[in-house]
Structure 1
Amino acid sequence: MSTFLLEIVTPDRLVYSEQVNSITVRGIEGELGILPGHIPFVTPLQVAPVNVKIGSQVTPFAVQGGFVEVRKDKVVILAESAERPEEIDFERAEAAKERAETRLNAGRQDEVDHRRAELSLQRAMNRIKVSGGIKH
């Protein structure tokens, strides 16, 4: 089975660098499946899980925005942040979700605060989904 190099990079660190069989990302236009030999492109990413497949094993990463760049022989995900399921603090993500929902339901607020609360909620939901509810 063919593979390609996947690198997930944040401003702080190299999160992941392995040969993989495929990945699934959510770009601005929707869900994208990337296999070896995919046509090169660059697109912004939504706040959503990135699923990495090696053989029959799929590993999710909580990716919080950024870009995916598909090259001839490798794929680079440049993310604002990226976490493996075991790195996610489930209770902290739940608390962030509740805070964001409270802010969104608070009623009167300016446009900037509302957008920030929506983004906080998306990030928290992404972390909760990827963690699978694993409590540390």
Structure 2
Amino acid sequence: MADKIHLTMVTPEQEMINDTEVDQVNIPGIDGDMGILPNHAPLITTLRPGRFSYEKGDEVIELVVSQGYAEVTDNRVILLAESAEFLLDVDHARAEAAREKAEKLLAQPNLEEEAQRAAQDTLFRALARLETKKSD
């Protein structure tokens, strides 16, 4: 019976976490947050923008992720996210500017569907990043 999880997180820009052994993973799934422990049942879920964390001994490492996917199988968690940043690296002023810009775009009448979807994605990502400021 395994007592560790192998965690990998990849974004289009880089491999954020490379096959690191951890004790627990906390994922912001589309249907709510979920904690993954060793020997968890296999699953695939869609990520929503939010706080992601993993525990390694007494250390808790937190990141903010955008939309993406997570796969859990055989004590392995693989996350594919459009973007991710460690909590300590979040630029709250930049996130606030992105939120304001996205809200202005979404307030425009007759916004094309693709532009609306992109603005919504930007807004959700900015809100997730700003949420970290409230709970630091």
Structure 1 length-normalised TM? 0.83
CA RMSD of aligned residues (A): 2.1
- Listed as ranges, the gaps of 5+ residues in structure 2 are none
Aligned equivalents of 1:41, 1:125: Cα separation in 2: 27
**Secondary structure of the residue that 2:126 maps to in structure 1?**
helix
- Length, aligned pairs only: 132
**Counterpart of 2:121 in structure 1: which amino acid?**
L
Structure 1 SS opposite 2:131: helix
Look up the equivalent residue of 2:5 and give its one-letter code. Answer: F
CA distance in 2, matches of 1:68, 1:93: 24
Aligned positions of 1:1-136 closer than 5 A: 2-17=3-18, 18-130=20-132, 132=133
What are structure 1's unaligned runs of at least 5 residues? Answer: none
2 CA distance for matches of 1:86 and 1:49? 12
Q: Report the alpha carbon displacement of residue 100 of structure 1 after superposing the two structures with TM.
A: 0.9
CA deviations 1:53-77 (Å, max 9, x no partner) are: 2234332211111111112131111
- Aligned partners of 1:96, 1:46: CA distance in 2, in Å? 18
- Say which is worse superposed, 55-64 or 92-101, in terms of deviation: 55-64
- SS of residue in 1 equivalent to 2:48: strand
